[in-house]
Amino acid sequence: MKYQIARLAHYFVIIFILGYYASVVCATENKAQPTDFMELAAVMLKDGHSDRALLALQNVDLEDKKTDLARFYTLQGLAYMNLNDLVAAKDSLQQAVKNGQKDQVIFIYLAQVYFGLKDYQQTIQAIVKAGDQVNKDASLISLKAESYWLLKETDASINALNEGQKIFPGDFRFLKRKVFYFAELGLYQEAAKLGKEYLKRSKAAATDYIAIGNALRLSKEYQEALNILEIARLQFPHDDRVAKLLAHTYLDQGKLNSAAFILEQAALLNPALQAEAAEIYRRAGRFHKALTLNESIRDQKVKFKQRLSILLALKQFERAANMESSLYRSGLLEDQEVRYALAYALFSSRRFPEANKHLDHLKNAELFRKGTELRRLMEVCKTEPWQCT
């Protein structure tokens, strides 16, 4: 069926081309003039029909000495670019240059193709050949800087960014890129300084604060990251991405209470963060606070699993054991760790037969070992109850 549809589409394109040819013949009142298939291809490219443009170009006579081969290969290269066939695009554009294409824009197209093919050295050479065109397009300088960076020619990359800043002083992409490059190079103080400058001078969005803050965080420059993210939290109070990154930056430093409080506040706008806030409070040892937040979690599986761990931490074994039916209904007993935790709660509540029933389901080697130890303790409790009081 798909093959038939493809054939029909092919026939429609041919009919379209033939129709165009017939209209040209009629318009010239029987004056024999060939269809300009290259012009037709150019129109199709402009209209976004790259596949049809290639079909039209197939009708061009490349043996005809009057054929403009430079234009032919340029059009063909652009069509392949639009179809993301970069290898074919490269070959066509190179042929355009060999056949006399003088327009420097051809090298811009080649630079884009080379970069897509990860040939960064050729990307740089093509941008150099583009000449004055580079000074008209900030993205080309950015592409050159990125190519140098990927070739690990860091000095040349930074110089390219400086060049971009000089030519396009109002375009802050170069300053932003330098922040990340300096962070990767381990020049954290310089990265932080440039990051603040970028955020101050540009109309920075929340994503900019997040990107720069996270770069500093990953570089373990936690205080600089916190300074930027705290500002972002004030400017974008409704963006939970800022809150999450800020919380995780505090977590990286072991400041659990600060992280939990930030997520708790963010959860007022995004309830999905409630579980994470409760979990961090649990890890911080604030079990009653964690249990309070746990009550509002909507995801039942997350809620019950977390509640079980909190109750065990509080040594409220009877309450934990009484969760058996809830754990069963939510399907959590398929989780071997949950089943062992329930068995432990039942054991601690001296409900040995029920505990044994759940231990029978353990297959995980480590949990099976722990289960065997629980069984041994249960036997001790039966024979020497005074040891289990």
CA–CA gap between residue 249 and residue 98 (Å, rounded): 55
Q: Locate tokens 């070739």: which residue?
A: 151
* CA atoms of 77 and 3, how far apart (whole Å): 27
**pLDDT for residue 229 is more than 50:** yes
Maximum Cα–Cα distance across the chain: 115
Q: How confident is the model at residue 153 (pLDDT cuts 50, 70, 90)?
A: very high
pLDDT digits (tens, 9 = 90+) for 102-139: 999 999 999 999 999 999 999 999 999 998 888 889 99
**HSE of 264, CA atoms in CB hemisphere, 13 A:** 17
Closest CA to 188 of 139, 147, 223: 223
Please check the confidence at residue 27 and state whether its pLDDT lies above 90: no
| The two three-digit tokens of residue 383, written as one number | 């024979």
Distance CA 316, CA 349 (A): 9
> Which residues touch 232 (CB under 8 Å, ≥6 apart)?
206, 209, 210, 213, 239, 242, 246
Concatenated DSSP letters of 76-138: HHHHHHHTT-HHHHHHHHHHHHHTT---THHHHHHHHHHHHTT-HHHHHHHHHHTGGGGGG-H
Which amino acid makes up residue 286? R
Percent of the chain topping pLDDT 70: 91
Which residues, 6+ apart, have CB-to-CB distance to 142 below 8 Å? 161, 164, 173, 174, 177
Out of 15-19, 151-155, 194-198, least confident range: 15-19
* Burial tier of 338 (Cβ tally within 10 Å: 0-12, 13-18, 19+): buried
Does pLDDT of 23 surpass 70? no
| pLDDT score, position 65 | 87
Stated as kind and residue range, the H or E segment containing 44 is helix 37-46
Closest Cα partner for 303 from 340, 271, 263? 271
What residues have CB less than 8 Å from 257, skipping those under 6 apart? 281, 284, 286
pLDDT in tens, 260-273: 999 999 999 999 99
d(CA 90, CA 126): 12
Instruction: Out of 263-277, 282-296, 336-350, 370-384, pick the least confident.
Output: 370-384
Tokens at 134, concatenated = 């580079």
Give me the helix-helix angle, 173-184 and 154-167, nearest 10°: 160
Q: What is the mean pLDDT of residues 145-170?
A: 95
Using a CB cutoff of 8 Å and minimum separation of 24, what contacts does 26-32 make? none
The pTM (predicted TM-score) of the whole model is 0.67
In this prediction, residue 5 carries a pLDDT of 37
> And the tokens for 171?
């375009």
Identify whether the C-beta of residue 265 lies closer than 8 Å to the C-beta of residue 233.
no
With beta carbons less than 8 A apart as the criterion, state whether 196 and 225 touch.
no
Residues 6+ apart with CB under 8 A from 32: none
pLDDT score of 58 more than 60: yes
